[in-house]
Structure 1
Amino acid sequence: MKKIGILLAALSLSLAGCESKPSLQKYFVENSEKKEFIAVDVSPSILNTDKVTLSAEEKEALESFKKMNVLAFKADAKNEKEFEAERTKVKEILKDEEYQELIKVGNGKEGGAIYFVGDTDHVSEFVLYGSKKENGFAVVRILGENMNPNHVMSLLGLLKKGNIDMEQLKPLQQLMVKP
């Protein structure tokens, strides 16, 4: 009987210790099916680098990149309050110490920022956030292993150099169309 009591106590402590704080991953899962959001998962094949000669640094960056998740909220005159509420949720998540700000542009209402998770030599996730009242906001999670800030710059260069597979980005075209 004493063992059962100890087992129950240990179980309750372990359940109480589980974190239930908001995270971007939870936010993506909770909102990806909602009609106000556009969700796109992008694989490394979008870069279409088969016919491109890559430098050693570009190869390393490409190998560290696993996938990209995009979640965008399309704003219009009918959903201004919801836009503000959702944008506030994302900003609160990004205030967590897990997300380290790398660069910020614009002001608090409009603009963007790049965050990372991990340390500068072993980044597991880069987060790009951008917001504009007329269009909405987007959060991009670039997931990988042992990435670093140079890898992101290399990947951005590969976007220009490679033959991008636009089919993977087709759902995002809705965000660019003016209401």
Structure 2
Amino acid sequence: MKRFSLLTVLCLLLASCNSEPTLQQYFVENTESKDFIALDLTTDILKLNKAKVSAEENAALETLKKMNILAFKADEKNPAKFETERTKIKGILKNEKYQELIKVNSGKEGGAVYFVGKDDAIDEFVLFANKNDAGFAVVRVLGDNMTPTSIMTMLSVLKKADLDIEQLKPLQKMVPN
């Protein structure tokens, strides 16, 4: 019995050693929060006419699994919460596993694109955008062996897509009237 207890304690200690927060944990913790809007999207949202998609575009789409979107709407009632949550996201993205591709900043607003994986085998793209008077959004683009070229190809496919706007309705709450 002592051996079982010692083994249990050892496992708990090892599990708690990596207490550094991850983006996945942040999404899970905040998905149900009233302060956030969360969406999980698949390529089905694109409603593509397969006859109009080239082999290259189809190959790029095959690398994409899904997108997770988490958005926080800032207003005059929650400036402290907005700053706290934005600081948490920035802290998570400072982890060395998130490699920064590009960063844009202009005072009250900014954004950055990160990736996880290797240049030729990217498993996750992360887009982080924030605006002091509107809030912030984090988009995780999850896939297998994506490349910057495949992401650019996917963006061109969006022009051909008949987007399913119903899936995006929750994000309308983020857009100021």
Gaps of 5+ in 2: none
Letter of the 1:15 partner, please give it: L
Deviation at 1:177, TM superposition (A): 2.3
Matched length: 175
Distance 2:25 2:107 in 1: 24
Deviation at 1:10, TM superposition (A): 5.3
Deviation sequence 1:69-110 (CA, Å, 0-9, x none): 000000001101110000000000000011110111114752
Give 1:33's aligned residue: 32
Distance 1:52 1:136 in 2: 39
Q: What SS does the corresponding residue of 1:29 show, helix, strand or coil?
A: helix
1:111 maps to 110
TM superposition shift of 1:172: 0.2
Pairwise CA RMSD of aligned residues?
1.8
CA contact (8 A) 1:43 1:68 kept: yes
Residue 16 of structure 1: which of 13, 16, 22 is its match? 13
Deviation at 1:16, TM superposition (A): 2.3
| 1:91-130 alignment runs, 5 A limit | 91-107=90-106, 110-130=109-129
| Cα contact 1:69–1:140 (8 A) shared by 2 | yes
What's the secondary structure of 1:17's corresponding residue? Answer: helix
TM-score of the superposed pair, with normalisation by structure 1: 0.90
Q: Taking structure 2 as the reference length, what is the TM-score of the superposition?
A: 0.91
% identical equivalent positions: 56
Contact 1:32 1:39 in 2 (8 A): yes
Structure 1 portions without partners, runs of 5+:
none
Partner of 1:44: 43
Question: Aligned partners of 2:6, 2:149: CA distance in 1, in Å?
Answer: 48
Q: Distance in 1 between matches of 2:148 and 2:136?
A: 23
